[in-house]
Amino acid sequence: MRQLLLVLAPASLTFAPLSAGLAQAQPVPQTTAKPGWQWTFDSAMTVVNAVRAGRSLQPKSWPNNARVAVLLSFDVDNETIALRYGEPTVGALSQTQYGARVGLGRIIKLLDAHKIPATFFIPSVSLAITPSMADVIKKSGRHEFGVHGWIHELNMTLPDSAERALLKKAVAELTQMTGVKPTGYRAPSWNFSPNTMAILRDMGFRYESSLMADDRPYELLQNEQPTGIVEIPVEWILDDAPLFDPRGQSYMNPRDVARVWMDEFDKAYEEGTILVLTMHPHISGHRSRIVALEQLIAHIEAKGPGRVWWATHGDVAEYVRKEAKLGEPKPRLIP
């Protein structure tokens, strides 16, 4: 598979030699953009409406009268975090290999002990590096696979043709390696290029989970038109990566993070909406951090049996689609 991937890789995406240098922080985009104060209101609205939250898809009730839906997701980035900028180091590769080697197994063991389903968004290069992860995830029959780019490429840095080709390749490879065609997309680092929405529509995705306009599921609009694509919204508050970076400025103790997650759950429970939590095997799979997830699960289970619908992103997306009579995703009108 490794050979296949290297053959398929466009020339601009081949891996740089390890001697290329130290891993860099996220590059600052070079821009000649006009600052907002020089825009007209109309041009601001065109940009605002390019991709925007449409109607809420919050259902009147959840299956079996559960009070809230809880959706756990794991972005199985592993080594692609070190590879995506083309300047991987041995140290960063080893730190991220931990996700496949240790973290994933520990997470699956916890989920399976509680019979909790989850969604695993995986860059296809990550799975190709450690293909055995597919069987580990598939074993219980409860979990879902979702798309997370080819090598965790940042959409904002890509021309339309490259972004489209990489996403097609990612879906084909993920389908081949898992045996299931994924229906959901999560953008690497949670951002869209100006072309991403059109590409997702053209490829027939049924739901998306990278945007942040609500606590509840909603329909995505493109240029003010309904798309029929369900958004399962995320938030950086509910992502382990920034808060668990021991060298980052926002580092938090995992037990304090667990408290934030519990507060988010309690409000979701009170309001009858959804809790969507994003974690990474190479981050939350560590011993002192899995404790945060254990504490959250115990807190949620303390509500009593049947009070919570633990579900995959795909199950929630299809449930709210049906309840809201959303119909099927609408093909884009290509001018």
Stretch that binds Zn ion, among 7-15, 67-75, 109-117, 170-178 (CB under 5 A): 67-75
Residue 75 sits in the site that holds Zn ion (CB under 5 A)? yes
Contacts of 27 (CB under 8 A, 6+ apart): 85, 157
**Closest Cα to residue 289, out of 234, 241, 237?**
241
User: What is the number of other CB atoms lying within 10 angstroms of the CB of residue 49?
Assistant: 13
**Closest Cα to residue 26, out of 124, 156, 125?**
156
> Least distance from C-beta 186 to Zn ion, angstroms?
7
Contacts of 263 (CB under 8 A, 6+ apart): none
> Least distance from C-beta 152 to Zn ion, angstroms?
6
Stretch that binds Zn ion, among 75-83, 95-103, 159-167, 321-329 (CB under 5 A): 75-83
* Residues within window 199-258 making contact with Zn ion, judged by CB under 5 A: none
> Least distance from C-beta 119 to Zn ion, angstroms?
13
Query: What is the contact mask toward Zn ion in residues 167 to 196, using x (rule: CB under 5 A)?
Result: ------------------------------
The C-alpha angle with vertex 172 and arms to 168 and 176, in degrees rounded to 5, equals 170
> Least distance from C-beta 56 to Zn ion, angstroms?
27
Residue at token pair 């100006």: 194
Distance CA 329, CA 46 (A): 23
Name the pairing type of β-strands 68-75 and 274-279.
parallel
> Least distance from C-beta 134 to Zn ion, angstroms?
18
How far is it between the farthest Cα atoms of the chain? Answer: 57
Residue 226 pairs in a beta bridge with: 221
Residue at token pair 């063991």: 109
Minimal CB distance residue for Zn ion? 75
Q: How far is CA 76 from CA 45, 125, 184, in A?
A: 36, 10, 15
Of 77 and 208, nearer to Zn ion (C-beta) is 77
Exactly one of 54, 57, 77, 216 binds Zn ion (CB under 5 A); which one?
A: 77
Stretch that binds Zn ion, among 12-20, 56-64, 71-79, 162-170 (CB under 5 A): 71-79
Of 219 and 240, nearer to Zn ion (C-beta) is 240
Q: Which two tokens stand for residue 273?
A: 């909406």
Of 75 and 231, nearer to Zn ion (C-beta) is 75
Of 189 and 273, nearer to Zn ion (C-beta) is 189
> Least distance from C-beta 75 to Zn ion, angstroms?
4
Of 77 and 240, nearer to Zn ion (C-beta) is 77
Which residues would be at the binding site for Zn ion (CB under 5 A)? 75, 77
